[in-house]
């Protein structure tokens, strides 16, 4: 019978420190989530006064009723879904072929192409030139302004290229060519079916980026009917801050009471929208987790 290896005193101390560190990290990550959930079903007075700091107080579902009855929020939800789906599909259509081409050792000039691509990651054009390009293309106040300028990410291309280099054997490609397979068929029928981990990781990275994005819509969109959900949430936050500043000024009691009520309503909607907007990402992640773990380890082990 094999005896278990006894841990030394130093190992035990290290293990205790690891558990303590992980417990603190868990609390730091978990507390904001619990707070948001509790605040979304607590009265605004309890939240703003600090009485509610962890668990719900004076439970009310008025916030969710306001969220589900607000057409702007549902319109923003629909726009965000469209931006995320179309944008992620375009990202994958650009990133995966580019990464595969750059991973091929027989691709002439791939070093030069890679150098130019990496250059754009360290030295971007900046906000004003990018805005002028989008404007000259006639994309201002269109959905394309939020999708086309971010069609590819240099970092994701590098990650996907590393996966193709390490996970797709060169011998497999050579065998496919011997059997008469063209490069396009090789990529579509052989490489992509074997690349589920990196496809899932890229889809998750791009999807989360599109879902949480609001700054491009702030710059390029003028019509509220095209706003994504995060932009609607920003409007609610700005409304609450403006209401709080106005109620703090020297104004009449009736106006102050009306503005305070408006701020409380915005607070209720704010936490409800945060919960509702994060649910799709939370629901999708468990299905992609195993691929995500494989994908983030790309290139970490050789041989």
User: Dihedral sign, CA of 162, 164, 167, 173?
Assistant: negative
Q: What number is the average pLDDT over the span 166-177? A: 83
- Rounded-to-integer distance, Cα 146 and Cα 139, Å: 9
Q: 63 or 38: whose pLDDT is higher?
A: 38
Band the pLDDT of 142: cuts 50, 70, 90: very high
More confident residue, 293 or 58: 58
Instruction: Give the C-alpha separation, 267 to 47, whole Å.
Output: 9
In whole angstroms, what is the distance from residue 28 CA to residue 7 CA? 30
Are 207 and 81 in contact, with CB atoms under 8 Å apart? no
Q: According to the CATH classification, is domain 62-296 in 1.10.3720.10?
A: yes
pLDDT recorded at residue 241:
53
Mean pLDDT, rounded, for 157-186: 86
**Range from 25-29, 72-76, 244-248 carrying the lowest mean pLDDT:** 244-248
Mean confidence (pLDDT) of the chain: 82
**Maximum CA extent, the chain:** 84
Mean pLDDT, residues 234-242 taken together: 67
Q: Distance from first CA to last CA of the chain, Å, rounded?
A: 34
3-state SS track over the chain:
CCCCCCCCHHHHHHHHHHHHHHHHHHHHHHHHHHHHHHHHCCCHHHHHCCCCCCCCCCCCCHHHHHHHCCHHHHHHHHHHHHHHHHHHHHHHHHHHHHHHHHHCCCCCCHHHHHHHHHHHHHCCCCHHHHHHHHHHCCCCCCCHHHHHHHCCCHHHHHHHHHHHHHHCCHHHHHHHHHCCCCHHHHHHHHHHHHCHHHHHHHHHHHHHHHHHCCHHHHHHCCCHHHCCHHHHHHHHHHHHHHHHHHHHCCCCHHHHHHHHHHHHHHHHHHHHHHHHHHHHHHHHHHHHHHHHHHHHCCCCCCC
pLDDT at 4 (0 to 100)? 54
10 Å Cβ neighbour count for 241? 12
Tens-digit pLDDT profile for residues 185-223: 888 888 888 888 889 889 888 998 999 888 999 999 988
What pLDDT digit, counting tens, does each position of 250-274 carry?
444 554 455 456 666 677 778 888 8
Mean pLDDT, residues 109-116:
88
- pLDDT tier, 122 (very low <50, low <70, confident <90, very high otherwise): confident
Is the model's pLDDT at 41 over the cut of 70?
Answer: yes
Q: What is the pLDDT of residue 298?
A: 57
> What's the average model confidence in pLDDT over 64-77?
85
What integer pLDDT is reported at residue 186 of this predicted model? 87
Region 162-191 average pLDDT: 85
When pLDDT is cut at 50, 70 and 90, the band that residue 247 belongs to is: very low
- Contact between residue 274 and residue 233 where contact means Cβ atoms under 8 Å apart: yes
Q: pTM of the predicted model, to two decimals?
A: 0.79
pLDDT of 29 > 60? The answer is yes
85 has a pLDDT exceeding 90 = yes
With contact defined as beta carbons under 8 Å apart, do 207 and 88 qualify?
A: yes
Q: Which of 113-117, 195-199, 216-220, 278-282 has the lowest mean pLDDT?
A: 278-282
65 Cβ neighbours under 8 A, 6+ residues apart = none
Q: Is the pLDDT of residue 86 over 90?
A: yes
């Amino acid at each position: 019978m094999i005896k278990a290896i006894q841990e030394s005193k130093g190992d035990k101390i290290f293990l205790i420190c690891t558990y303590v560190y992980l417990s603190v990290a868990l609390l730091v990550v978990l507390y904001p989530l619990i707070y948001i959930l509790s605040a979304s079903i607590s009265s605004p007075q309890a939240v703003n006064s600090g009485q509610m700091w962890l668990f719900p107080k004076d439970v009310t579902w008025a916030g969710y009723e306001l969220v589900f009855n607000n057409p702007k929020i549902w319109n923003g939800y629909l726009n965000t879904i469209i931006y995320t789906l179309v944008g992620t599909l375009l990202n994958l259509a650009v990133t995966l072929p580019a990464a595969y081409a750059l991973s091929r050792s027989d691709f002439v000039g791939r070093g030069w192409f890679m150098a130019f691509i990496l250059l754009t990651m360290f030295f971007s054009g900046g906000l004003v030139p990018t805005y002028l390009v989008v404007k000259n293309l006639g994309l201002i106040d269109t959905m394309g302004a939020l999708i086309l300028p971010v069609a590819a990410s240099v970092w994701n291309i590098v990650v996907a290229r590393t996966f193709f280099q390490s996970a797709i054997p060169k011998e497999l490609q050579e065998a496919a060519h011997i059997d008469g397979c063209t490069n396009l068929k090789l990529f579509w029928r052989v490489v992509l079916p074997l690349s589920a981990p990196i496809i899932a990781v890229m889809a998750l990275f791009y999807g989360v980026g599109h879902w949480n994005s609001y700054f491009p819509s702030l710059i390029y969109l003028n019509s509220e009917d095209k706003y994504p959900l995060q932009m609607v949430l920003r409007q609610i936050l700005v409304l609450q801050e403006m209401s709080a500043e106005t109620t703090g000024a020297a104004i009449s009691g009736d106006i102050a009471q009306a503005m305070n009520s408006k701020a409380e309503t915005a607070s209720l909607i704010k936490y409800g929208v945060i919960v509702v907007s994060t649910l799709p990402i939370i629901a999708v992640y468990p299905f992609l987790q195993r691929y995500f773990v494989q994908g983030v380890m790309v290139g970490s082990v050789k041989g």
